[in-house]
Structure 1
Amino acid sequence: MTEAYAGSSIREFLLQAGEFSRQLLKKVRMDGMVFINGTQVEMWRPLDTGDEVLLVFPEEEKGAIFPHQGTLPIVFEDDDVIVLDKPAGIPVVPPFDQKEPSIASYLLFEYEKRGYPCTAHIVTRLDKDTSGLMLIAKHAYSHWLLTKKLDLISRQYVAVVEGEFREKEGLIDEPIGRAEDSIIRRVVSPEGKPSKTQYHLINQEKNYSRIRFKLLTGRTHQIRVHMAHRGYPLAGDTLYGGKKVDGVDGQALHCERLHFIHPWTKKKMTFTSEPPKHWEEFA
C-alpha cells in the first residue's frame, strides 16, 4: 500500500485505488475475507504505509447453465482473463435450453475440473455462427474492471459479403433496433439505437467481396444488419437475405483482432486470428 492511502480505511482504498463497485465490495464484506499483513481484519481498519492487503473473494453462484465437457480453444490465459479463438457453430451462451452446449458451459466444466470457484464471465460475445477472438473475465472483479471500460476494448472483424462491393472505405452510421415481427432479427430503424460501423474493402471477386470492419458501437448483429441494409448481405447469412453457401454454416464473419487493456497489469494486449480455411471457397 502506498503512502497516498495511509490513514484511509480498507473500504476507501478498495473503492478508490481498486476501482471496486459497491456491489462487489458488499459481497467481499459479507461473504469474503480481508487480510492485512496476514491478519484477518474488518473493512473499517485504517491502513499504514507498507501494509499488504489480501482479499479472498466469496465463491460465485454458477447460475442455471449446465456444464459440458468440450474443447476450449484458449489463445491466452492468466489469473484474470482468457482469450478464446471461437469456432463457428457454437453459441457463447445457450439461447433457450440451459443444457445446450456452449462456450459458457465448456468454461463451467473446466472451472469445476480445476476446483475454480467462479462462474463464466463473458466480456465480448460473438453470434453462434461467427468465429474468432473473444474475451473472458475469470472472476467478478476483472469482469467489473473490463465492462466498466468497454470503450477501451477494440475488435476488428473480416467478412465475406455477396456481390461486388464498390466503395474502398467509409462509415455506416444507421440506427439499429429490433424487428417488429421477430425477437431475433434487427433492422435499420429511426427508432433504433445509434450504430456506427467502419469498413475497408480488402479485395473484390465476381460474386463476393471481402471487407474488414471496426465496430464503433456494439449492437446485436450490427455488421450483418448494416451490410444487408446496403444491399450486400454476408455470404451464408440467410437471416438477413444472404444465400446459403455449401460447406459453410451461417454467415461468413470472423473476429480477427482483439485489443484491450489488461484489467490488473494495465498492459496493452493485442491478439490476432486468421479466418477459417473454408473461406477459400469464396476466392
Structure 2
Amino acid sequence: MKPLVKTWLVPEEWDGYSVKAFLFEYGRFSRQIFKRVKEAGKVLVNEASSELWKPLHTGDEVTVCFPEEDRGERIFPEEGPLSIVYEDEDLLVLDKPAGVAVIPSIDRSQTSIANRLLYYYDKQGISSTIHIVTRLDRDTSGLMVVAKHAYSHMLLTKEQKQIERRYKAIVHGVVLQDQGVIDEPIARMAGSIIRRTISAEGKTSQTIYHTEERYKHFTLVELELLTGRTHQIRVHMAHLGHPLAGDALYDGEEMAFLQGQALHCHQVKFLHPWTKERMSFASAIPKTWENFKE
C-alpha cells in the first residue's frame, strides 16, 4: 500500500513560521489530522526529519507522509461495478445508479458503493478507508464526490457549502411557477428513524427550483441545494404539493419502470482541495424518464 505524500514550498510571507504553524494555517490541518501525522506519519523539511517547533525559511520544502488509515469492521471489500467519472490522488467523482446504497445497511445484507470502493482501493493499492463527501439516497442516481483520504475529506468538508449540486427530478402534477425558493426547516418525523418533515423545530433548509418541462401529469424540474438536509428535495417538493414520482415515502406514486424516486444529481461543481482548480461534472438523466412524456 502506498502512503499519501504531500509537499509544499514555503512562500516568502511564511518565512519564520514554525513547521507546526505552517501545517495548521497554510496546510489547513485539523487537530485530528495533525495528531495522526505526529503519531504515525512523518514530517520532513528539505527531505530531512525536523522538529515541529523549528522555524521555516522561504523556499523550504515541507513534506508530509500521511499514515495508513484504519478501516472499521462494518465495511468490507466487495467486487462490484463503479462508474468512475473522474479520479486523481485526492478524490473520485462517481455516477451512482439508483437502487444501490452508498454505505451498507446495519445487517450488511446488501452491497453498497462503499463496499465496492474498498475492493477498488485494494486493487489499486490505496490504503484509505471510505470518505463520502456528497451522499445520495439509495434510490437517487447521479454524481457523488468521494475523498480518497482523510486530508482531502477534511478540506472538502470545510468547503462543503462551496460544493454546488444540481438535481433533476420528475414530480407529480404540473408545476405552474417557473421558479422559486423553498425555505422550510426540516426535522426528523416523530416516531420514525427515516422519514423527515417540515417543522418549526427543524434545521434551516433551502432549495431553489426551476421548471424545465411540463407534461400532462408530471413536471421535470431542476433543483439546487443551498443546504444539505436528509431527504431535503423529497420533503420540500412534497410540501409544495408536488411529490417526486416513485417516492412512496413522501406520498409519490410508485412507477413500474422506476427504481424508487425520480431524482438524479446531474451536476456537481467544486474547487479542487489541492490544485484549487474549478471542477465541473455532468451526468445525463436516466433514459427511463422518457416514459413520463407519454
TM-score if structure 2 supplies the norm length?
Answer: 0.94
Give CA-to-partner distance per residue, 1:126-185, whole Å, 9 cap, x none: 000000111111111110011011111110000001111111111111111111121000
Residue 46 of structure 1 deviates from its aligned partner by 2.2
Matched, 1:255 2:261: no
Unaligned runs of 5+ in 2: 1-9
2:95 aligned residue:
85
The one-letter code matched in structure 1 to 2:178 is K
The one-letter code matched in structure 2 to 1:15 is F
1:101 aligned residue:
111
Distance across 1 between alignment mates of 2:85 and 2:160:
21
2:5 aligned residue:
none
2:152 aligned residue:
142
1:274 aligned residue:
284
Shift in alpha-carbon separation, 1:98–1:28, aligned structure 2, 3 A:
farther
Contact 1:66 1:100 (8 Å CA) reproduced: no
Matched, 1:54 2:34: no
Residue 97 of structure 1 deviates from its aligned partner by 2.5
DSSP 3-state at the match of 1:278: helix
Distance across 1 between alignment mates of 2:139 and 2:175:
23
Q: Choose the corresponding residue for 1:6, options 15, 26, 31.
A: 15
Distance across 2 between alignment mates of 1:37 and 1:206:
67
Residue 107 of structure 1 deviates from its aligned partner by 0.9
The one-letter code matched in structure 1 to 2:198 is V
Distance across 2 between alignment mates of 1:169 and 1:96:
39
Count matched residues.
283
Matched, 1:21 2:30: yes
Contact 1:66 1:99 (8 Å CA) reproduced: no
Contact 1:65 1:99 (8 Å CA) reproduced: no
1:73 aligned residue:
83
1:113 aligned residue:
123
Q: Choose the corresponding residue for 1:236, options 230, 246, 270.
A: 246
The one-letter code matched in structure 1 to 2:39 is M
1:182 aligned residue:
192
Distance across 2 between alignment mates of 1:163 and 1:48:
65
DSSP 3-state at the match of 2:204: coil
Residue 48 of structure 1 deviates from its aligned partner by 2.1
Contact 1:32 1:56 (8 Å CA) reproduced: yes
DSSP 3-state at the match of 2:270: strand
2:226 aligned residue:
216
Give CA-to-partner distance per residue, 1:191-244, whole Å, 9 cap, x none: 111111111100111111100101111110011001111221100001111111
Give CA-to-partner distance per residue, 1:46-94, whole Å, 9 cap, x none: 2122211111101101112111111111101111111111111101111
The one-letter code matched in structure 1 to 2:18 is S
Unaligned runs of 5+ in 1: none
The Cα RMSD (Å) is 1.1
Distance across 2 between alignment mates of 1:196 and 1:181:
24
Contact 1:66 1:98 (8 Å CA) reproduced: no
DSSP 3-state at the match of 1:89: coil
Residue 99 of structure 1 deviates from its aligned partner by 5.9
DSSP 3-state at the match of 2:16: coil
Q: Choose the corresponding residue for 2:176, options 162, 166, 175.
A: 166
Distance across 2 between alignment mates of 1:230 and 1:44:
57
| Identity score, percent | 54
Distance across 2 between alignment mates of 1:49 and 1:202:
54
The one-letter code matched in structure 1 to 2:69 is E
Distance across 1 between alignment mates of 2:215 and 2:253:
16
Distance across 2 between alignment mates of 1:37 and 1:197:
49
Distance across 2 between alignment mates of 1:115 and 1:226:
42
DSSP 3-state at the match of 1:58: coil
